Structure 1
Amino acid sequence: MPEAEPPLHALRGDDSHAATLKRLEKASGELAAAAIARMDEQLPWYRAMPPEHRSWIGLVAQAGIAAFTEWFRHPETPQAISTDVFGTAPRELTRAVTLRQTVEMVRTTIEVMETAIDGVAAPGDEGVLREALLVYAREIAFATAQVYAQAAEARGAWDARLESLVVNAVLSGEADEGALSRAAALGWSSPEHVCVVLGTAPEGDSELTVEAIRRAARHAKLQVLTGVLGDRLVVITGGSADPLKAAKSLIGPFARGPVVAGPVVGDLLAATRSAQAATAGLKACAAWQDAPRPVLADDLLPERAIAGDPAAREQLVEEIYRPLEEAGSALLETLSVYLEQASSLEGAARMLFVHPNTVRYRLRRVTDVTGWSPSDVRSAFTLRIALILGRLAEAEPSS
């Protein structure tokens, strides 16, 4: 078995060690003041800080020199350097001072101590003190990394809880000003275009899924608030006026199965409407086996209406039936006959006693008014459901 290395103070006489330690204790105040002066001279970010933060940094520098003195007194005894040095500062300081700035602060303090070695160490003890400072600098570097890693981990856990609260509030229809403030704390900058994308969450670690969504969002230059709720992956996107394009850019982390994008709304509070549409579309998607992936919730309006979604029924009536009704009875009659005659222009013309070109012209008007083309099979299905719902609405007795 190799013998353990002797402690630092065993490499020189006890008298030298005691003398160096005494000088170090006496000079600690001057060293801390010199370190602060050099920071003020060399670090612009330190000069720009408010007095309160500069005061805390001064205390950290003093604690670092005091911890080195104590460590030099008993180098063989394990020391909790992170507690000794950074325990004097409040937790908020890790937000006010970045890791890079902390490294610069530690480097400046060590440099000041290095320049003072010849004046502090007892004669012949300079090399031992320099070696001790080198070892201590390594330990303080590890302690700095540990402090910031713990702060980042705690902040990440807290941010995840905040994000989950916001996503759940939007999905449950309970979004309020509190949700806005939580989103702002997460960096949400209130983009003009917001939509909700829903799909099945993959198996495994949900944190990895959330991080994958964030990477995809950064690549697509989108803002996102996301979370895994049960077996669903929920993504609130901001920054794109095209919900289908946004959903396609984020679809990678979703598991197999339908992915539905709700309509674009103006802000986070209105995102509840987009979430409700996406939720209804996800439930009704099974009725359209050839649905694209991703698919818009508005493209699933007929399935949603059949499944009992009142918002989809109202949207079909208000956006298709009412405009056709206001455009004149000829359009409604022509569309109804055309759909009932298996989409035959000639058959509809015979039933209406008009020329086929008249039917063709009226069907083009239907497309202009509603945005849905009767000649397209999918659009024809949507128009038929809208006509049925409109007639039922007309047949209901007025309140």
Structure 2
Amino acid sequence: MEGALTEETISRIEQSSGMLATRSLARMDEQLAWFRRLPADQRSWVTLVAQAGIASFVEWLRSPDQAVRLTGEVFSTAPRELARRVSLQQTVELVRQTIAVVEEAVPALAGPGEKQQVADAMLRFSREIAFAAARVYAGAAETRGRWDARLEALVIDGLVRGVGPTEEGSPVSQLAALGWRAEGAVTTVVGAARRDLDPTQALDSVHRTARRAGFDVLAGVHGGRLVVVLGGITDPIEAAKAILDEFDDAPVVVGGSAPRIDGAADVTATALSGLRAVAGWPGAPRPVAADDLLPERTIAGDLGARHELIETVYQPLVEAGDVLLDTVVSYLDGGRALETTARALFVHTNTVRYRLRRAAELCGHAPTDARGAFTIQLALVLGRLNGQGAGRAAGPPGAQPPVQ
């Protein structure tokens, strides 16, 4: 370093390092509102960094060729966790406040004719500190990115395996480390992963798209399937449409909605059940709700779908009474012909229409629609086999015990 400072000036700066660090912390507390909100342990680490920075400056004045090593040592005094709480921009603000304090003290610390030399040295050293901070944060970001990717893969694997929120190794307990907001409904969207991207590229693309849409997101490629959990949603289907292009050109299934993230395992299981069964409905919309695939899921062996079909379709019709149920059964058995049904029941066709509309309101599926008729017919069979309801719908006396 040209025009090296005298040892007397360097010693004076060294002896004042404690005072300079204290003043720097006081300046930070006065000027930076976010610094005042840091917990005590975080503030203490910042104090150590400030002290190490000034000590490193003194050593650099003696050995300017060791700038990289000395500036790197400044940040080695703090734990890696500090980089999660204090951003790079905030670190720059801390360095700026420290430099300002040192610059104010230069007139009293510099020897005769050395004021400008000390100021120039501080300017060069602060540049090295800035580069060192950038290296630290770049390294922390790279490490955090690798860790987050592994943790996210574990969370998705847990959801796919159906690990509940209270079980050991629950994925819900790991979400805080991934920056998941605790509030808001969640859904799971599943489909084939894009074949034109490798898994890492596909997941990066999903994250960008979902975050642009304003959702929390977890994603993983699991056995060729892309599994995406979205948080902060309002409508599951609309949320799925926002990321639809991230899937391959194949069926995409939405697993319904859970009010909180602790229901993510359930909606994931529902979505995967729907994906296994969606081939049974070639005309399914894209995306399709897993609840709209209850018939196919039931035939594919999903007991939960079977129970839901009985409870939401068959049971409401039974509870509405024999008149309504007999009308629906007669209409379906008669080939969905209004006139045939009216003659069989000795009523007007308008009465049949009214009863069919009422049935649709009760069970959510219209007997007059081909898809609705299929769903209701399957629910009727399952309900009778399960011994639900009463009278004709439950089967004749002496029938076999309910199928469990």
1:3 aligns to what? none
Instruction: Give, in angstroms, the shift of residue 270 of structure 1.
Output: 3.1
1:105 aligns to what? 94
1:272-311 → structure 2 map (5 Å cutoff): 272-311=265-304
CA distance in 2, matches of 1:313, 1:53: 55
2:401 aligns to what? 397
Asked if 1:201 is matched to 2:205, the reply is: no
SS in 2 for 1:270: helix
CA distance in 2, matches of 1:50, 1:312: 50
Could you report, residue by residue, the CA deviation over 1:320-379 in whole angstroms, capped at 9, with x for unpaired residues? 222222323333333233223332112333444443333323322221221211111211
Instruction: Give, in angstroms, the shift of residue 55 of structure 1.
Output: 3.0
Instruction: Give, in angstroms, the shift of residue 84 of structure 1.
Output: 1.3
What amino acid is aligned across from residue 152 of structure 1 in structure 2? Answer: A
Rate the CA distance shift 1:248–1:30 in 2: closer, same or farther, 3 A.
same
RMSD: 2.8
2:150 aligns to what? 161
Asked if 1:148 is matched to 2:137, the reply is: yes
Instruction: Give, in angstroms, the shift of residue 294 of structure 1.
Output: 0.5
Rate the CA distance shift 1:23–1:259 in 2: closer, same or farther, 3 A.
same
CA distance in 2, matches of 1:126, 1:359: 100
1:365-380 → structure 2 map (5 Å cutoff): 365-380=358-373
Instruction: Give, in angstroms, the shift of residue 183 of structure 1.
Output: 2.4
Comparing 136-145 with 302-311, greater Cα deviation is found at 302-311
Asked if 1:134 is matched to 2:127, the reply is: no
Rate the CA distance shift 1:320–1:56 in 2: closer, same or farther, 3 A.
closer
Comparing 287-296 with 37-46, greater Cα deviation is found at 37-46
Rate the CA distance shift 1:49–1:248 in 2: closer, same or farther, 3 A.
closer
1:1-399 → structure 2 map (5 Å cutoff): 8=1, 11-12=2-3, 17-77=6-66, 79-177=68-166, 178-191=170-183, 193-203=185-195, 204-394=197-387, 396-398=400-402
CA distance in 1, matches of 2:321, 2:31: 79
Contact 2:165 2:173 in 1 (8 A): no
User: What is the aligned residue count?
Assistant: 388
SS in 2 for 1:195: strand
CA distance in 2, matches of 1:365, 1:47: 64
Contact 1:82 1:147 in 2 (8 A): no
SS in 2 for 1:266: coil
2:396 aligns to what? none
What amino acid is aligned across from residue 200 of structure 1 in structure 2? Answer: A
SS in 2 for 1:260: strand
CA distance in 1, matches of 2:220, 2:124: 44
Gaps of 5+ in 2: 388-398
What is the identity percentage for the equivalent residue pairs of Structure 1 and Structure 2?
49
Rate the CA distance shift 1:18–1:371 in 2: closer, same or farther, 3 A.
same
Could you report, residue by residue, the CA deviation over 1:205-259 in whole angstroms, capped at 9, with x for unpaired residues? 5444444434444444433333332322222233335321221223232222111
Contact 1:260 1:282 in 2 (8 A): yes
Instruction: Give, in angstroms, the shift of residue 317 of structure 1.
Output: 1.9
Rate the CA distance shift 1:323–1:136 in 2: closer, same or farther, 3 A.
same
Instruction: Give, in angstroms, the shift of residue 305 of structure 1.
Output: 1.8
CA distance in 1, matches of 2:185, 2:340: 45
Rate the CA distance shift 1:286–1:27 in 2: closer, same or farther, 3 A.
same
CA distance in 2, matches of 1:47, 1:354: 80
SS in 2 for 1:79: helix
CA distance in 1, matches of 2:184, 2:30: 45
TM-score, normalised relative to structure 2: 0.84
CA distance in 1, matches of 2:95, 2:72: 15
What amino acid is aligned across from residue 193 of structure 2 in structure 1? Answer: A
Could you report, residue by residue, the CA deviation over 1:85-111 in whole angstroms, capped at 9, with x for unpaired residues? 011122232234333332121112222
TM-score, normalised relative to structure 1: 0.85
Contact 1:71 1:79 in 2 (8 A): no
Contact 1:166 1:175 in 2 (8 A): no
Contact 2:56 2:71 in 1 (8 A): no
SS in 2 for 1:68: helix
CA distance in 1, matches of 2:222, 2:269: 15
Instruction: Give, in angstroms, the shift of residue 126 of structure 1.
Output: 4.2
CA distance in 1, matches of 2:184, 2:17: 56
Instruction: Give, in angstroms, the shift of residue 143 of structure 1.
Output: 0.9
SS in 2 for 1:290: coil
2:391 aligns to what? none
Instruction: Give, in angstroms, the shift of residue 284 of structure 1.
Output: 1.3
SS in 2 for 1:257: strand
Contact 2:184 2:259 in 1 (8 A): yes
2:393 aligns to what? none
Contact 1:224 1:236 in 2 (8 A): yes
Comparing 31-40 with 321-330, greater Cα deviation is found at 31-40
CA distance in 2, matches of 1:371, 1:145: 59
CA distance in 1, matches of 2:132, 2:121: 16
